[in-house]
Amino acid sequence: MHYDYYDDEYSGTYAHDIEGYTDEEIDNIFDGDPEAYWNID
């Protein structure tokens, strides 16, 4: 079960929880797709 400690849209994603990107950063850098983090070289 996923416990959402923060009221963030992308809580539970690797980019948000592990890498520490904010919702705004995910929207700006990854066009709102936290899964796009895996495409960074």
pLDDT at 41: 57
Report whether 12 contacts 18 (CB < 8 A).
Answer: no
Task: List pLDDT tens digits, range 1-41.
Answer: 444 455 578 888 999 899 999 999 999 999 999 888 876 65
Q: Is the pTM of this model over 0.85?
A: no
Q: Who contacts 23 (Cβ-Cβ below 8 Å, separation ≥6)?
A: 8, 9, 10, 16
Q: What is the largest CA-CA distance in the chain?
A: 32
